[in-house]
Amino acid sequence: MSVLVVGGAGYIGSHVVRLLRESGTDVVVVDDLSNGVPARIGDTTLEQIDISANAAPEALAGVIRREKVDAVIHFAAKKQVGESVERPLFYYQQNIGGLVNVLEAMRRENVTKMIFSSSASVYGAPEDAVVTEDSPTEPINPYGRSKLIGEWILADCERAWGLNWVALRYFNVAGAGWPELGDSVIMNLIPMVLDKLADGAAPRVFGDDYPTPDGTCIRDYVHVKDLAEAHIAALHGLDGQLTHHVFNVGTGRGSSVTEVIESIGRVSGLDTSPLVEGRRAGDPPKLIASADRIREDLGFVAKADLDEIVASAWEAWQAGPRRIEA
């Protein structure tokens, strides 16, 4: 079994590369290193290819042939919501164009197994706090739309040439399975808080007047190593008969912004008293995954609780360039 991991030098992809290699699976990584770090994948074969380029299908087909690839896990995408609003065409060119090129190479080489990184952002700002895979999909920004369109493209390829696919809709991914594989982008809550603490500043809370018990937004935090395990479960699932293609990956439990910041205070021993600012546009009060389908169909259950996630994120931060002294 040989797996092509596209975007494998990134935060989540490198965790999956490590799990696959630990299980003895042959892995080849394609990444343009726009946000990837080669050191994350050690001596795994790396092909530096921009998958959104016109020449990409040919180059990818060559990699698939040479490495005798049986399955593709597709992480490569641009992921900053705010930037996607400012540069929608770039996001569609990268996220949709890139996916189409990967699928074209697979079609040419008769590779039919694909796992796709989707996102809870396909749900937009839903009415219900707990979303199932059948909840309405109404993304509210180009990033979220690029993920939903990606799922539609996969379904069309299934109809046209028998693509066998799974889309995993990740909720709030955090932590690090190994300290050197932490997230280098300051975009999600835990890195944002650690970034402020590294500057000697107070963490910021955007809105404490939401209709939640402590007034701050509630999200479903999933440990990146658990998420990586979900990909392994999905890969096994593709060997059998799947009744569904789309799965939420979360814990089914919510934590508020205040709870996360308090957990960071407990783990780090630092004063994490926040500065409360106004609400940000488009933040739903509560967004939690229903984790039933992935448990029932793929046997996957996320194990880590909030303190374990935060402790691993703290350890990874402290192993990086901006260590925080207490």
Ligand X SMILES: NC(=O)c1ccc[n+]([C@@H]2O[C@H](COP(=O)([O-])OP(=O)(O)OC[C@H]3O[C@@H](n4cnc5c(N)ncnc54)[C@H](O)[C@@H]3O)[C@@H](O)[C@H]2O)c1
Q: Which residues are at the interface with ligand X (CB under 6 A)?
A: 7, 9-13, 31-36, 50-52, 75-79, 94, 98, 117, 119, 170, 173, 188
Provide the minimum distance between the beta carbon of 326 and ligand X in the complex, in angstroms, as a whole number: 28
What residues contact 22, with CB distance under 8 A and at least 6 apart? Answer: none
Our CB check for ligand X shows the closer of 45 and 188 to be: 188
Catalytic residue among 91, 123, 143, 210: 143
Provide the minimum distance between the beta carbon of 32 and ligand X in the complex, in angstroms, as a whole number: 4
Contact 107, 157 (CB under 8 A): yes
Our CB check for ligand X shows the closer of 77 and 288 to be: 77
Our CB check for ligand X shows the closer of 95 and 208 to be: 95
- At 17, the amino acid letter reads V
Q: Across the strands, what pairs with 277? A: 206
Provide the minimum distance between the beta carbon of 112 and ligand X in the complex, in angstroms, as a whole number: 21
170 is catalytic: no
Tokens (6 digits) for 86: 């400012």
- At 84, the amino acid letter reads S
Our CB check for ligand X shows the closer of 208 and 310 to be: 310
State the residue number with the nearest CB to ligand X: 10
Query: What is the three-state SS of 169-184?
Result: EECEEECCCCHHHCCC
Distance CA 176, CA 326 (A): 21
Provide the minimum distance between the beta carbon of 134 and ligand X in the complex, in angstroms, as a whole number: 19
Our CB check for ligand X shows the closer of 8 and 274 to be: 8
Q: What does residue 56 show for φ and ψ, rounded to 5 degrees?
A: -65, -45
Distance CA 83, CA 142 (A): 9
Beta strand pairing call for 204-206 and 246-249: unpaired
Contact 183, 314 (CB under 8 A): no
Provide the minimum distance between the beta carbon of 274 and ligand X in the complex, in angstroms, as a whole number: 21
Q: Which residues are catalytic?
A: 143
